[in-house]
Structure 1
């Protein structure tokens, strides 16, 4: 039994890839090499979740002929991504 269907795995992968890209392209000079600051982590996860939210809305907007829906834990993939994005935004505002 899979916890995702279709492109639902992107709910996990997109934020991770975005954090790694931010660490590689714009390393934070205030932390030692290989580490990530909280704000850089929240920004990466938030951007990745935002991209995934839009992607989920586009992919799930119509019924597919083969019946494939893009779910993560049996929820359409855009909703967990939206929740992740909101949590990152709230934590970022509180910690900033």
Structure 2
């Protein structure tokens, strides 16, 4: 049983890659080397997940027959919806912080 199909694995990979790229390009001077702050984590995950939302919308557009799964899914949901949930959670945590 596979939890993703097509490019669905990017749902987790894109936010992690965005965070690592952000840590490499703009290290936070307030934390020890190799660590990240909450703000940097939220920005990295938020940007990566937002990219994935757009990517999922582009990849999963087009007609489907009734009952057919999306071509690119994560846990049997089109990959853009779990990514949108990550963006919303990052925004909520940033606002409540």
User: Which stretch of structure 1 is more off in the superposition, 1-10 or 55-64?
Assistant: 55-64
Query: CA shift at 1:55, angstroms?
Result: 0.2
TM-score w.r.t. structure 2 length? 0.92
Distance in 1, matches of 2:70 and 2:14, equals 20
Q: What is the aligned counterpart of 2:79 among 77, 80, 89?
A: 77
TM-score w.r.t. structure 1 length? 0.93
4+ residue runs over 2 A deviation: none
Query: CA shift at 1:4, angstroms?
Result: 0.2
Question: Can you give the 5+ residue segments of structure 1 that lack an aligned partner in the other structure?
Answer: none
Please tell me the root mean square deviation across aligned C-alpha atoms, in Å.
1.4
Match of 1:23 in 2: 23
Q: Deviations over 1:22-79 (max 9, x none)?
A: 0000000000000000000000000000000000000001148xx8700000000000
Match of 2:95 in 1: 93
